[in-house]
A and B are shown apart, each in its own frame.
Chain A
Amino acid sequence: MILAVIIVSGIGAFLATVLVFAERVITNYGDVEIDINKGSKKFTVRGGGSLLETLTQQKIFVPSACGGRGTCAYCKVKVLEGGGALLPTEEPYMDKKERADNVRLACQVKVRNDIKIEIPEELFAIKEFTCTCEKIIDLTYDIKQYNLKLVEPQTIKYTPGQYIQLLSPPYEKSSEEVYRAYSISSDPADNTGIELIVRRVPDGIATTYLFDYLKEGQTVRINGPYGTFYLRDTNVPIVFIAGGSGIAPIKCMLHHMKNTKNTRQAVFFFGVRTTKDLFLIEEMKQFEKELHDFTFVPVVSQPEEDSGWTGVTGRVTDVAVEFLKKQGDVSNREGYLCGSPGMIDSAVKVLADLGIPEERHYYDKFA
């Protein structure tokens, strides 16, 4: 019996040694150079790992939500040279234009030789932050606001409308480390902390952690900022449409407009289901007073009979269409959308029907 165990373990040990040796010899690609944005940054790194891993080691955080398994398709980067051909694992995520532009999933590309890549400049600004959860405020029965104070680094620079990724560490109900994206809702004048507005997702890994486990005073890890959802530098009137916790980035933009004394005309359609889902109404009314030309239209789709709701009733997108049609030609406007994928899809449709072309619809769609 003992002999048997020794023999089998011996074979196992032998194979393991062969593999370790093989890894040393075969997968040793030596030092390779990563060239980012035509020489604006260069690193010499040990080859062999995935591009995503290698960039993370160099403190360049390409967005990724699936942990490098090639399923979320957030980590798209342009690989100009040295990435090899597109892999079958990437094909489903690439459209024609991306193929032509050599866009790849950073988690699937292996760094085996010198490689030249192109990433958006703003990714250089992305950092990892340690924060303390300063305050948790109930906004509605299923939406909470989290005020996070930055500890290390102590300040953050972001464009109003961008989002961060929050790390949900392993806890009782989930053994996984996952990152989830949340928009920053705070006043950008304060760069020492951020505020998030989160709606509970039933059985969601990260929201269960935030709602049931995170306590005031505890440490939270985030990285960011990410996203291209920010106010474009033009003067045309703005149409904001948001549902529920989608109000977060728009609140941040409104703070910014107030801080910079922006006089653009803006109208904000805020849709919720029942009057119990309404929140931040006072704050929005305050913006109406303080901003030059801002109209806030809260819309409740199914007000309870005894709620005494006297405001607008209906689907937020329908209300927006009716409202805007009365204003004549609105085709020059910019649409800023935030909410569930379903809401965004229907908002995109109504904006297009109003003559606002798709290149002026802005949103970050996270499922």
Chain B
Amino acid sequence: MTFGAQLTHLLVILFASIFTENILLARFLGMCSFLSVSRQIKTAVGLGFAVVFVMTFTVGLDWLAYRFVLQPYHIEYFRFILFIVIIAAFVQFVEMAIERYSPVLYQNLGIFLPLITVNCAILGASLFMVIREYGFVEGVVFGLGSGIGWMLAIVAMAGIREKLAHSRIPKGLQGPGITLIIAGLMALAFIGFTGVLSGG
């Protein structure tokens, strides 16, 4: 592949993972924090950035572990355990380091890290990376795109919920109920992107 073709290929993966294959709205992964932390745009942005950051790095780390440890010994079936352990350790480590060395970053990003250690979208991204047989760079780009897509979805949801705070919602639908309905509508809207491009 020429450099240009490669770049196009990566851009397709990036945009597909943001829009058409949005990990939250097309795959419904990472719903728990999506539902519970989407009340304010500000916190949603913080959490979104934490997901982008963690996803990008863990997909890379998991790729390395998969390629250089699991594959050579033919123990790919251990990827679930290994990936989760790597993600958890990475998040813990980053949280500690940020808290110590950069209070400002901790304030804006760090406090969200423990919330996403067990976020299934993070593990999901790594597993998709395996299923789709991405290379290292492709994997990292995919992680980045999925993270941005997740962030886009939660920030959009937070924007809608901030508006909704002033509306009268039937009692039985308040909270998670109306949020799930909105998530469904947003997912329908995102399906509209499917025809545009496909990252396959």
Contact = CB atoms under 8 A, between A and B. Distances in A.
A88 B43 contact: yes
Secondary structure call for the A interface:
helix
B39 to A, nearest CB: 8
13 contacts: A3-B73, A7-B73, A7-B75, A8-B75, A8-B78, A16-B89, A19-B89, A26-B97, A27-B96, A85-B107, A89-B111, A110-B99, A112-B99
Contacts of B43: 88
Given A4-B73, A8-B75, A22-B96, A88 B46 contact: yes
A23 interface: yes
Nearest to B106: A84
Nearest to A88: B43
Interface string A17-42: 01100110011000000000000000
A110 B96 CA distance: 12
Interface residues of B, number: 24
B100 interface: yes
Interface in B80-97: 81-82, 85-86, 89, 92-93, 96-97
B78 A4 contact: yes
A236 interface: no
A112 B103 CA distance: 10
Given A3-B75, A8-B81, A88-B107, 9 more contacts: A7-B73, A8-B75, A16-B89, A22-B93, A26-B97, A26-B100, A87-B111, A88-B42, A110-B99
A19 B93 contact: yes
B42 to A, nearest CB: 7
B65 interface: yes
Nearest to B107: A85
Interface in B88-134: 89, 92-93, 96-97, 99-100, 103, 107-108, 111
